[in-house]
Amino acid sequence: MSTHQQFLSEIEQFLEAENMAPTKFGLKAVNDAKFVANIRSGADVTTRTMDRVREFISGQKKANPKRRAEARVA
């Protein structure tokens, strides 16, 4: 799996787990509503942007541990 595919997979898993719209994710993570659509269509991403996105995802997981645990039980 390429780095691009791995990165997109991380985003897709987060979107599904959090039931978050791609546009909302893009706005919150990198201030770009079309971010996920661009990634899905094959756009390149800098390592700095990958780091920002992963930091956002990590921060959301830490902020919502109870919801994450409830989702696993359901």
pLDDT at residue 69 tops 90? no
- Quick one: pLDDT band at residue 72, thresholds 50, 70, 90? low
CA distance 17 to 38: 21
Domains and CATH numbers, the chain: 3-73 (1.10.260)
- Quick one: pLDDT band at residue 63, thresholds 50, 70, 90? confident
CA distance 34 to 58: 21
Residues 6+ apart with CB under 8 A from 11: 25, 36, 39, 53, 57
Cα 60 to Cα 36, 41, 42: the distances in Å are: 17, 25, 25
CA distance 44 to 8: 11
The per-residue pLDDT for 43 is 97
